[in-house]
Structure 1
């Protein structure tokens, strides 16, 4: 282990906590090796280690997902912490943060609480000199750059493997199966659902799956191309026959569309349609950035058959202008008894709901362009407007207060979800107390199945639909996705859910302040919790 310079002040007699972290870097960074190196350093310096914080298998590019470091920072700021030093193997084990200021901020929090962070294997001293500060900044920058460079190398390697015909995705799709092969080409056998390879040099390819599923895929193409049966009717036909999809559930039109539009059924491997690097958000890549490998999989349908289906599918809306697709929506709204995304997908001759979302951002924007106001679960228009106004008021107040406290806030296109500091996702919804049963007035709530926010905020309005009564803040994991819960409107009668009830949105400011450690903005108030 490298030793720090001898001019550093003595640390003898201090009590210390050690922090160790290992992701998947190298064996030299195993937590056991870090412990041994830190123990040798502590023995030479006369330091007593009284606590250990360990993040095993955790990435160092963000504080999120590192419970040990978060606990360490919380314990450091407690008034009765039992140590005055934090021993870390080197700067990279503290973190490979993409912003060097973020890395320095967490160390500053410790120093402000009277706890010094010491890097045992670094050459620079821990005396707080200008030289040591400069060296730490350089090391932090190098650690962050290592992660960026590694991310680029990993992505390039995955693209090269995709070009060679190896499957880089997860679920293979209906009618296909993943097969594991060794580095020498020997087939090891198929992988079942959610199974992963255990040896890094092994590879995965796609092959035809169950014969009945393969036959059904070819039948779907036949119905679509030669009998001109649409995706909705194909799904209905399969459900009437009692044929389930690959997960044992009924079919829906989108699953049929996925089969008809995925080139893997024609033997082509496409990779990098979307990508996510480091802790950034997922984004769609242009077709020029995709990795394409033609003929690397056994085809379930030949190329002319796939191309014929693709022509039929894309001709539905590809050559329609925005004005034309909006006219179709306007005509549909003028005659439809029920307006919903499902009804739009089922209507003959109508572009799919995803087409409107892709072109105009979301269905709400498309509705606005044709002058339609969507009601709230059958409620009258005045009630819907009042509820939307209350919801927007809650979101605007929360957003303005967060910005005033120095947070960065992004709002979704449908104006129901905010993202705080690119870390905390909060989704808002409004509920009217309209439901009644034999147990008295109640309201119902369910976790959204189409998104997974960190917090779900339910704003409740009074029976006159004017004044907000209270709000419930449900964290992820508190509600089972897809399950509907019925709760009484009386205070204190909602059982275990009563702990999520708050009088106003100020609780969201407190929650954001605690998570602000992940993206510090420099203000003193953000570290008060």
Structure 2
């Protein structure tokens, strides 16, 4: 069962009652229930019970003979109808058919039922697209009327709840949301003390102080930020560039619809509303701040290299930490974007390096190898009939799983033994990490460790060439075995699972 809070008809209780009634009419007994509450049906990601259902069926770890779902839309409103069919096929192939209780056809594989089912899948996907478009139109209309459409208000601003006729319903505190669909949210100036801090920030910035210096000054005066944490350069930059302090609201600068990646919209798609409240910052002061921002952002390559020479002259070396501590210097990321790396920028500036940075090239090679291995894995999975989408240079989404590929460099410990360290970063925000282990004398991996995220904390942080018994169940030799392991571990989820009751 699945409920996305879109309509009371599809509440979990209503679905359960309809499915139970169907089971009684057809002499079936409910043995397990899989349900995802408040989950979208656009894809399988995030629907843990749906993924678990299909995983259990594929693995044969079930005590039922059929899956009962209210209707096709509860199986999912997938934007690609083949994805819905693929998940159902996995269950059917394992001998566990999917039965739609409230549809006007029997899911018996006949041409008529196949035609109707595919039509319903397409209609359900189109319903989501149309609904998304309507919601977007409604939100843009409200934005044009000056209503705040979500997010944090910003330092020195507050969210006020108003009724349909504009009646004041009070301020919304941090983390609070409106209760009634007819209510609206507007932005209003915050406490006078915060407005005074805003003006201080703008004045100090136009007078030449850097983002970092302003942040340190606010911390020194024990002035809390909007989040209560210490002030940062990014917070200050966000404030001095935020046109909300002129009473101007902008909406739809970027968007992410139907679970797709976020995109930046063109200026013609923006919704800009001016004069919604009195400016917190004088327009002239705001314009001066934007000019200061533009001047400080205009670092040419020659200026960047000269800045490195100045740092070297003062400290006798150059490092990312020194750049961070110097409020007048651009950050190391700027040098990475312009020159490929900070050491390369130092070489172009004619500076001698305090160490051999040749290892950086090795890191680049391993990252490039990880990207190629991710491509190879994707092709291998596709040859097995799996639908694969890339969610990053080394990340894949397949069979409802988020998979990340990493190439592990060989390190030598104090005893001269080769070891491979499993970085915890590779398991962040993923369901499955694939570690390709590379020997020191070979550019190709000699084996792979396929590790579910929940197993990472149970294993040592590094392993030797013979990984040991703790790694045995995760270790494979070939890319094809990696793909098969992913297929076996793949999971999707949702629905009531039923087993027919035998007649006596």
TM normalised by structure 1 equals 0.75
Q: What residue in structure 1 maps to residue 289 of structure 2? A: 309
Offset, 1:32: 1.6
Q: What residue in structure 1 maps to residue 402 of structure 2? A: 424
Q: Which moved more, 1:74-83 or 1:167-176?
A: 74-83
- Please give the residue correspondences for 1:306-455 in structure 2 after superposition, counting only pairs within 5 Å: 306-317=286-297, 325-335=300-310, 336=312, 337-340=317-320, 343=323, 346=326, 348=328, 350=330, 356=334, 364-368=336-340, 372=344, 380-406=356-382, 408=388, 410=390, 412=392, 417-420=394-397, 424=402, 426=404, 428=406, 447=425, 452=429
* SS across alignment from 1:405: helix
The answer for unaligned runs of 5 or more in structure 1 is 1-19, 357-362, 481-485, 519-529
1:208 aligns with 2:208: no
Cα distance in structure 2, aligned partners of 1:259 and 1:508: 48
Deviations 1:251-292 (A, max 9, x none): 221111100111111111111222111111112222221111
Offset, 1:132: 1.1
Offset, 1:477: 8.0
The answer for unaligned runs of 5 or more in structure 2 is 348-352, 493-504
- Please give the residue correspondences for 1:258-337 in structure 2 after superposition, counting only pairs within 5 Å: 258-317=238-297, 325-335=300-310, 336=312, 337=317
| Alpha-carbon spacing, 1:504–1:286, altered in 2? closer, same or farther (3 Å) | farther
Q: What residue in structure 2 maps to residue 154 of structure 1? A: 135
Q: Is contact 2:421–2:463 with CA below 8 Å preserved after alignment? A: yes
| Alpha-carbon spacing, 1:72–1:202, altered in 2? closer, same or farther (3 Å) | same
Residue in structure 2 matching 1:140, options 109, 121, 132: 121
Deviations 1:31-62 (A, max 9, x none): 22222222333333333333322222111111
Offset, 1:202: 2.1
* SS across alignment from 1:316: helix
* SS across alignment from 2:344: coil
Q: Is contact 2:409–2:440 with CA below 8 Å preserved after alignment? A: no
Q: Is contact 2:50–2:491 with CA below 8 Å preserved after alignment? A: no
1:25 aligns with 2:6: yes
Residue in structure 1 matching 2:160, options 179, 187, 204: 179
Q: What residue in structure 1 maps to residue 52 of structure 2? A: 71
Cα distance in structure 1, aligned partners of 2:456 and 2:230: 24
Q: Is contact 1:471–1:502 with CA below 8 Å preserved after alignment? A: yes
Cα distance in structure 2, aligned partners of 1:386 and 1:44: 66
Offset, 1:165: 2.0
| Alpha-carbon spacing, 1:477–1:272, altered in 2? closer, same or farther (3 Å) | farther
Deviations 1:293-340 (A, max 9, x none): 1111342113332222122212434xx5xxx73333333345543343
Offset, 1:228: 2.5
* SS across alignment from 2:377: helix
Question: RMSD in angstroms over aligned alpha carbons?
Answer: 4.3
* SS across alignment from 1:180: strand
Q: Is contact 2:58–2:91 with CA below 8 Å preserved after alignment? A: yes
Offset, 1:434: 8.8
Cα distance in structure 1, aligned partners of 2:157 and 2:409: 43
Q: Is contact 1:244–1:250 with CA below 8 Å preserved after alignment? A: yes
Cα distance in structure 1, aligned partners of 2:356 and 2:242: 42
Cα distance in structure 2, aligned partners of 1:394 and 1:379: 27
Offset, 1:512: 4.2
TM normalised by structure 2 equals 0.78
| Alpha-carbon spacing, 1:305–1:430, altered in 2? closer, same or farther (3 Å) | farther
Q: Which moved more, 1:203-212 or 1:91-100?
A: 203-212
Q: Is contact 2:139–2:149 with CA below 8 Å preserved after alignment? A: yes
Deviations 1:162-188 (A, max 9, x none): 222222222222122222233333323
Q: What residue in structure 2 maps to residue 236 of structure 1? A: 216
Q: Which has the higher contact order (CA 8 A, sep 6+)?
A: 2
Q: What residue in structure 1 maps to residue 97 of structure 2? A: 116
Q: Is contact 1:433–1:462 with CA below 8 Å preserved after alignment? A: no
Cα distance in structure 2, aligned partners of 1:38 and 1:452: 35
